[in-house]
A and B are shown apart, each in its own frame.
Chain A
Amino acid sequence: MRMIDLTMPIWEGAGYGEILPFTNSSVRLSEYVYYDKHGLRMTRMKLDGETGSPFMVPHQRMPFDPTPLQPDPKFSWTLDQIPLDRLILRDTVVLDIRAPEQHEIAVDEMDQAIKSADFRSGDEVLIRTGWGTRERAYELGLEYYKRTPSIHFDAAALLASKMDEMGSGIFMTDCGLVNPPRVQGNNWFRGESPIIPHPKPWPSAEARERVLDLGAHRHGSPHPSSYGALIRKSIAGCKCLVDCDKISKPRVKMIILPLLIKQGGASPCRFIAVEE
């Protein structure tokens, strides 16, 4: 048995917490008990539900707002309601779609990957582009998310349909963003009028102004959400996994452990692939 950690690490200033206006806010790690003064260390951690490699359920805004991201989701569990046998040692098919930076996975690529894979009933799904690595995330910072491969809406819709048919529950990918950056970062870091220099995320003045402009916390792109297509058919959507090329087999068992947040909707999560 071989285990591979596919979890994006957490550190102060990580790019995933700096790139978007709302959905993922900055990581702040503050020491308040110190080695030099107290002889030990303790840390106050300001995180986000989307910090690191996140695990996000359809009712992502819980416990404060029960409205799902998309209407009529197939699953409605919050983090503390998901049975452990839906998280641990889950049979998972690896869908290989090699993607260079900034590539939007197209519907024919998704179709080919699905047809080529040994996709069995009840499998969870890992979309592997090979692009997402720990070293690249450390090196590129914000650029990691500007350059990440992503999934075009049509490809996401096809995969969502297939997941529904196969009884899959969890969608995972090593893309930094599921939605194309042009959609997710519309008129923030991409689009016709990106903001330069790049502003801080919520609660920055620029993020607050964006709510005034758009009337809500949304990306404001006219294009549909790839993530939205997938989350309607999923227990959870999971992005920003790393080092998936260390998996040597087309099928693995996944251990997926988000924090146990009572009535929570999203959490940083550990992702461990188990090869038998």
Chain B
Amino acid sequence: MNFVDLTMPLNHHWMPDEGLPTAIKFFLGPKDHQEKGMVVGSDSGTSLALPSLFAEFRKTTRLDQVPVDKLFLRPAVVAHINKGDEKEISKSDVEEAFNDARPAKGDAFMISTGWGDKPHPQGEGNEYILGSPHFSFEAARILAQALHDNENDLLLTDTAVLGLPKSHIIPEWFSMFPAPSAESAEAHMYLHLYDSEKAGKDFAVEIEFARAGITTVRKLIQCGRIKSRRIKLMVSPLNIVRGVASTCRVVAVEEGR
């Protein structure tokens, strides 16, 4: 049995995913610090999002209600979508990946693009987010339907984002120079002026997966170390009462290796 840790480490020196105004800086406080302990965002590092992340589906399952067999030792199939320099994952990409991977009913579905195998944690700037492969809306719609029809209600990917928030957040936030940091006054003001209409466009891809009842996990790393098509997964979010999203630990189990 071979274990592969697919988790982006929570590093108090530097995280590559804190460029967006919606991010929280991961912080560790020593014992004498006012904030002793840690501060973490619900999508810091490798993170899981339930459909209930979105208001439209808020009456659905919360983190402390997820059956344990949905997350631990969950049979899964690994699909590969290697985009090279082209970043948008298209409808034909997901159709081909789904057909090649042949998930069994009830499997979790993991997509490895190779993005999580690059040395992002050592990199500077926002390339990890802005350069990430991401689903087109049409690809998300097709994949969400296929996953839903096959009872594959857990989608995992090594991309930084599912959809790129290019309607509002990217042109508005990244046009500021120098770029403000997460939790800055600028970030608070940006979110103050941000609303559900804008979010509906920026998060259209994520909402499409949620609409199909699919829990998503993103920002996996080292998926390239998995050699088997079929694996078992352990997906371990924090057990937050009424929570809808959480940083999490993800480990792949390859049997017979």
Cβ contact within 8 Å between B249 and A45: no
The residue in chain B whose Cβ has the minimal distance to the Cβ of A62 is B28
Q: A68 at interface (Cβ–Cβ under 8 A)?
A: no
Q: B214 at interface (Cβ–Cβ under 8 A)?
A: no
The interface bits of chain B over 53-87 (1 if a CB of A lies within 8 angstroms of the residue's CB, else 0) are: 11110100000100011001100000000000000
Cβ contact within 8 Å between A52 and B238: yes
A255 to B37, CA, bound (A): 24
Residues of A close to B31: CB separation below 8 A? 22, 61, 64-65, 202, 217
Cβ contact within 8 Å between B249 and A259: yes
Most buried by A among B1, B38, B40, B54: B38
Interface residues of A in 10-69 (CB under 8 A from B): 10-11, 22, 25, 29, 32-33, 35-49, 51-52, 61, 63-65
CB distance from A258 to the nearest CB of B (A): 7
Interface residues of B in 140-188 (CB under 8 A from A): none
Cβ contact within 8 Å between B28 and A3: no
Known A255-B72, A259-B249; contact A8-B195, beta-carbon cutoff 8 A: no
Interface residues of B in 116-133 (CB under 8 A from A): none
Q: A260 at interface (Cβ–Cβ under 8 A)?
A: yes
Cβ contact within 8 Å between A39 and B196: yes
A43 to B49, CA, bound (A): 12
Known A45-B40, A255-B72; contact A40-B240, beta-carbon cutoff 8 A: no
Which of B2-10, B95-103, B104-112 faces chain A? B2-10
Q: B12 at interface (Cβ–Cβ under 8 A)?
A: yes
Known A36-B55, A39-B200, A43-B245; contact A255-B40, beta-carbon cutoff 8 A: no
Cβ contact within 8 Å between B10 and A262: yes
User: Contact check: which of B28, B195, B239, B244 meets A5 at CB < 8 Å?
Assistant: B239
Residues of A close to B38: CB separation below 8 A? 46-49, 261
Q: A199 at interface (Cβ–Cβ under 8 A)?
A: no
A-B contact count (CB 8 A): 164
Cβ contact within 8 Å between B9 and A46: no
Known A45-B42, A272-B72; contact A25-B36, beta-carbon cutoff 8 A: yes
Residues of B close to A48: CB separation below 8 A? 36-38
User: Contact check: which of A5, A22, A80, A255 meets B234 at CB < 8 Å?
Assistant: A255
Cβ contact within 8 Å between A38 and B194: yes
A44 to B187, CA, bound (A): 14
Q: B11 at interface (Cβ–Cβ under 8 A)?
A: yes
Cβ contact within 8 Å between A3 and B68: yes
A121 to B237, CA, bound (A): 31
**Interface footprint category on A:** 35 or more
CB distance from B73 to the nearest CB of A (A): 7
User: Contact check: which of B28, B45, B199 meets A39 at CB < 8 Å?
Assistant: B199
User: Contact check: which of A42, A46, A61, A259 meets B22 at CB < 8 Å?
Assistant: A42
Query: B residues near A, CB below 8 A?
Result: 1, 3, 5, 7-13, 22, 24, 28, 30-31, 34-43, 45, 53-56, 58, 64, 68-69, 72-73, 191, 194-196, 199-200, 203, 234, 236-245, 247, 249, 251, 253
A-B contact pairs, 21 of them (CB 8 A): A1-B73, A3-B72, A37-B195, A38-B194, A39-B200, A40-B199, A41-B55, A43-B41, A45-B39, A45-B41, A46-B38, A63-B12, A80-B9, A255-B236, A257-B234, A258-B249, A260-B5, A260-B7, A260-B9, A261-B12, A264-B28
Query: A residues near B, CB below 8 A?
Result: 1, 3-5, 7-11, 22, 25, 29, 32-33, 35-49, 51-52, 61, 63-65, 80, 84-85, 88-89, 202-203, 217, 255, 257-262, 264, 268, 270, 272, 274
Cβ-closest 4 pairs across A and B: A39-B196, A48-B37, A84-B3, A11-B241
